Amino acid sequence: MPGTPARRGAADDDLYQRYMAAYDAHRDHPCTCPDCPGRPCAATDRLLESFERLQEAYLTWQRDRH
């Protein structure tokens, strides 16, 4: 889990918040989904894809700003 960046602007703050919300949604989904025990459902896959896209965008932004 990444730490909170020390300095952020409005655009990267929004990206970071969406990235962390996607992580939370993916992490929490199996706790509330009756279809997930034993085998993740299709929603879990979509949530993971969303998290991965946002993570890549955020890490790319961090890499490119330096």
CA distance 57 to 60: 5
DSSP output for 31-53? HH-TT-TTS--HHHHHHHHHHHH
Residue 46: its pLDDT value, please?
95
Burial of 66 (0-12, 13-18, 19+ CB in 10 A): exposed
pLDDT < 50 stretches in the chain: 1-2, 5-6
Residue 25 inside a domain? The answer is yes
Q: What is the pTM of this model?
A: 0.74
φ, ψ (nearest 5 deg) of residue 17:
-65, -40
Provide the residue range defining the domain that includes 15: 10-65
Split into its structural domains, the chain has a count of 1
Residue 40: its pLDDT value, please?
86
Residue 11: its pLDDT value, please?
64
Residue 1 inside a domain? The answer is no
